Amino acid sequence: MPKALHQLTLEEALAGLKNRDFTSHDLVSACLDQIKKYDSGIHAFLEVNDQALKEAESPRPGPLSGIPVAVKDNFLTPGLTTTASSNILKGYLPHYESTVTARLKAAGAIVIGKTNMDAWAHGSSTETSDFGATLNPWNTAHLPGGSSGGSAAAVAADMCIFAIGSETAGSIRQPAAWCGVTGFKPTYGRVSRYGVIAMASSTDSPGPLAKTAADAALVLQIIAGLDPYDATSSPRPVPDFFNNLKIKIKNLRIGLPWEYLEVMQPDTRRLVEKAADEFIRMGHQVESISLIHPKYSIGVYTVVQRSEVSSNLARYDGLRFGSPRSGFGEEAKRRIMLGTYTLSSGYYDQYYNQAQKVRTLIVDDFTRAFEKYDLIINPASPGPALKVNATLNEPMFGEMQDILVEPSSIAGLPGFSVPCGFIDGLPVSFGLIGPQFSEALVLSAARNYQQATQWHHAKPRL
Amino acid sequence: MKWQTVLGFEVHVELSTRSKMFCGCPADHFGKPPNTQTCPVCLGLPGALPVPNAKAIEWCIKLGLALGCQINLFSKFDRKNYFYPDLPKGYQISQYDLPFCHSGSLTLSSGKIIRITRVHMEEDTGKLQHAQIDGQKVSLVDFNRSGVPLVEIVTEPDFDNTDDAMEYLKEIQLIVRTLGISSADMEKGSMRLEANISVRKGGQATLPKYKIEVKNVNSFRFVKKAIEFEVVRQIEILSAGKIPVQETRGFNETTGETFTQRLKEVANEYRYFPEPDIPPLVFTKDQISVWQSELPKLPDQKRRELTALGITAEKSGMLVADPQRLSLYEQLIDHRIPSPKAAEAAINVPGNLVDNPTAVLNWISEKTAVSVDPQIIIQTVSRVINDNPKAVSDYQAGKQASLYFLVGMVRRELGNADAGQITEELKHQL
Ligand SMILES: [Zn+2]
């Protein structure tokens, strides 16, 4: 049976538009229908762009011309409210556009709507959204993960052709894993943060949630690269990611860190080891390696991130955005308090400084590992999607869920989350990370795996 | 018992770069309609990021070099966190433990060395305006000044008298103007003074356990008055066996008194941490030596060159402090007038002739000093001061040129009376 339009991958949709098999209007309308039919039960979107169909009538020419994209609600989009799922910014209409959405629009993409997230991206469940949780399209009794849970669910439920998320530590890869889509976190600095409501400035990285690794490469091509408005964006030239996929890679040395496998649930671990076997079958070497135990990253990440959050949220001071600081949700308040404490005089050395020292050790640990190995298998989550309400009374829920991706996040490394099986009808993914700015290699490896397997083609029954 | 004053200064200078410190908005904000020079960055809107102004950094480092500072080749920006309505991000981007410049010094005419602790870069805040709208008292915020590049120059508590302090402050203003990096105009707020004042027993080697910070004083004269008032107040408290409360005080220009503004927060409640939005800055030694070589001739060097030509130290100082008269001096030299005589003429010539060297050459040949009764000089000076309040206040705000204007006014009435004598008397009465 041929795929319905909304089920197409980005690659297929672009080919179909080019062949005039259908129009952008057809494509956008198929996705909007999908939203209309199913989003009341999933709640992936906070706002749907009521101009999308009109925009699809004469899309701007470009490499993504006429493609509907769902955008996480922490990217500023004039004309569409931007709230980061927080009551503080309820109804906020931004005055300027984020670099990522500006580049997507300039490439012809059509923003179909804004997706739900954990409020201020503080979480790994999308359950802490001030506007209600998003549910997992594979089983609505389960969470989609987070903080980019709305974007992951929208891709899984074919409500868009691809989506944009942002990751601080796990916020792309973990929801991608729980929703069975392909999520890619680029190197820190590869994609501009300008116009993205800041969570933890030193680790925030925007990136794609897509249906395939090839799609992720196409999207990354558009959004990556130096931005004069972001002093931390990298001046390195952006390689041709998509054409690079055609180069056959062989004989990769891949590390499988046992400390990471150790914290995984046994059945999820077995699927990840099967994915590793697949790489061996494809002619690569996979070896067990040892890295600093990921548990140490939780402390580092928690201190650095809370410190930055406490400062980043200071601008919502009750004077200018219409809501007093008492309007912050419980999680934001907890993080502001903890961050204020760790930066206070007398505690700075003990917490923030200490965390930065350990961060350096973790960075060095990866550097050493990448002297010997091209890539490291790094699963995004210890297990499949947890049940709704799992975050209640679990202030460290996110950190426990993201334990496996926090080390690579604080080291700023690029990483993939790629579907590799199912447990009780819920998707499971494995992850790949590479050295800084090795996006092309990570993308190629993920693409190779997807050429050899079918897991990423599976669709939830809505 | 003898008491000794202990003084240190923090001087803020707004740089006159074309754009602000971290965005592309114009930095020249004086007299512009409120909130017309703003953007997402300097308004602290969600998602906006700071991109540092390379020119401002260069100028800050050049000022540091002019003050003999060491330059940190590895430096960074930090966030200084506090809430205030004129601070849109809830933090100010400043520098904490790795300022661009540190450990400099400035030598006063007496030979005394004032240690410069640091010269660092930060951003200015917005401005609050208190107004009444429809009978309601309101506070309005103007963000035009938000994000304007600001350099802070901090000294060690090395001063023990106000004369040295005034000389230091005027010299900083002169150096900044010589570098051409700021108008350093105190009335417009592009140069702002904060004095740290305390008092100890004469002969005591350790610093007092408290210090009073006096802020927002906008002329050299008022700073002097504020210090003098504070010293008397503090001695009174200390003589009663108490210790003054550590606090920030303001200065009332009408009463000449200082008053409590706010009790000083405990040190380091600003929760400084490295600004994650701006990567650390790395400079090479070569870069620094290029900047060093680009420095213009500094006032001290110019003064030394003039005295070497036989001009008195005082007259050298007067010339160097006044770019217009210094330029006149140089033109007279070109006309083969001997240095001391050219200096004499450049200083004493009436203000309306300053930019007319030919007229000055005539003036020199005609000029014969006339001796005038000192009593008459005193009376005339006093009248001229009363008749020219604008020139008087300009002089008190640091405009040397106004002094020459006043000298000119006196001489207009007394003919070729001795300019040195008139200047002395003017300074005395002012
Ligand atoms: Zn601006």
- Assess whether pLDDT exceeds 90 at residue B360: no
For residue A84, list chain B residues with Cβ-Cβ distance below 8 A. Answer: 46
Minimal C-alpha gap between B100 and chain A (Å): 18
Q: How far is CA B427 from CA A349, A356, B378, B395, in A?
A: 53, 58, 11, 10
Residues with a beta carbon under 5 angstroms from ion ligand 1? B 23, 25, 39, 41-42
Is the CB of B76 inside 8 Å of chain A's CB atoms?
no
Q: Least CB-CB distance to B271: which of A315, A319, A344? A: A344
- The nearest alpha carbon in chain B to A341 belongs to B271
CA distance B424 to chain A (A): 53
For chain B, how far is it from start to end, CA to CA, in angstroms? 31
| Tokens of residue A435, six digits | 């050295």
* Domains, chain A, with CATH or none: 5-457 (3.90.1300.10)
Express each pLDDT in B25-43 by its tens digit. 999 999 999 999 999 999 9
pLDDT tens for the 462 residues of chain A, in order: 689 999 999 999 999 999 999 999 999 999 999 999 999 999 999 999 999 999 999 999 999 999 999 999 999 999 999 999 999 999 999 999 999 999 999 999 999 999 999 999 999 999 999 999 999 999 999 999 999 999 999 999 999 999 999 999 999 999 999 999 999 999 999 999 999 999 888 999 999 999 999 999 999 999 999 999 999 999 999 999 999 998 888 899 999 999 999 999 999 999 999 999 999 999 999 999 999 999 999 999 999 999 999 999 999 999 888 899 999 999 999 999 999 999 998 788 899 999 999 999 999 999 999 999 999 999 889 999 999 998 877 777 777 778 899 999 999 999 999 999 999 999 999 999 999 999 999 999 999 999 999 999 999 999
For A318, the closest chain B residue by CA position comes to B85
The structural domains of chain B, with segments of one domain joined by +, span 3-293, 299-429
What would the pLDDT profile of B263-293 be if each residue is shown by its tens digit?
Answer: 655 555 899 999 999 999 999 999 999 999 9
pLDDT tens track for B381-428: 888 999 888 888 888 888 877 887 888 788 777 766 777 788 888 888
Contact A348 B273 (CB under 8 A): yes
How confident is the model at residue A246, as a pLDDT? 87
Token pair 């997402």: residue: B40
**Per-residue confidence (pLDDT) for residue B416, from 0 to 100:** 65
What would the pLDDT profile of B306-338 be if each residue is shown by its tens digit? Answer: 999 989 988 999 999 988 899 899 888 888 888
Which residues in chain B have their CB less than 8 angstroms from residue A360's CB? Answer: none
From chain A, pick out residues whose CB is under 8 angstroms from the CB of B88: 315, 320
pLDDT digits (tens, 9 = 90+) for B203-221: 888 999 999 999 988 899 9
> B90, A311: Cβ pair inside 8 Å?
yes
Give the pLDDT score at B268: 55
Interface contact B139, partner A, CB < 8 A? no
Residues of chain B contacting residue A117, judged by C-beta atoms under 8 Å apart: none
- Pick from B369, B323, B372, B377: which is nearest to B344 by CA? B369
More confident residue, B369 or B10: B10
Tell me, what's the ipTM?
A: 0.95
Contact between B152 and B10 (Cβ < 8 Å): yes
Q: How many CB pairs under 8 A join A and B?
A: 94
State the DSSP string of B28-74.
Answer: --TTPPTTSS--TTTTT-TT------HHHHHHHHHHHHHTT-EE-SE
The reply to whether A235 touches chain B by the CB within 8 Å rule is no
Tell me: pLDDT of B52 over 80: yes
Q: Which residue of B has its CA nearest to A82?
A: B46
DSSP string, A57-100: HSPPPSTTTT-EEEEETTB-BTTB---TT-GGGTT---SS--HH
Beta-carbon neighbour count of residue B407 at 10 Å?
24
What pLDDT shows up at residue B369?
A: 54
CA B89 to ligand 1 centroid distance, Å:
13
Chain B nearest C-alpha distance from A150 (Å): 20
What order do you get walking across the sheet with A253-257 strand by strand?
A: A45-48, A110-115, A68-72, A162-167, A205-210, A182-185, A415-423, A426-433, A375-377, A253-257, A285-289
Segment B146-157, tens digit of pLDDT: 999 999 999 999
Predicted confidence at residue A87, as pLDDT, reads 95
Cβ within 8 Å, pair A231-B273? no
The answer to whether residue B143 scores a pLDDT higher than 80 is yes
pLDDT at B371: 67
**Would you state the pLDDT for residue A434?**
97
Test mutation, B38, B45, B92, B281, chain A, max A CBs within 10 A = B45
Residues A427, A410: Cα–Cα separation, whole Å? 26
Q: Pick from B269, B271, B279: which is nearest to A231 by CB? A: B279
pLDDT digit string, tens, across residues B227-253:
999 999 999 999 999 999 989 999 999
**pLDDT tens digits for B368-384?**
556 677 888 888 888 89
Please tell me which residue of chain B has the smallest CA distance to A100: B47
- Written as one string, the DSSP assignment of A275-334 is HHHHHHHTT-EEEEE--S-THHHHHHHHHHHHHHHHHHGGG--SSSSSS-GGGS-HHHHH
Q: pTM of the prediction?
A: 0.90
Are the beta carbons of A95 and B79 separated by less than 8 Å? no
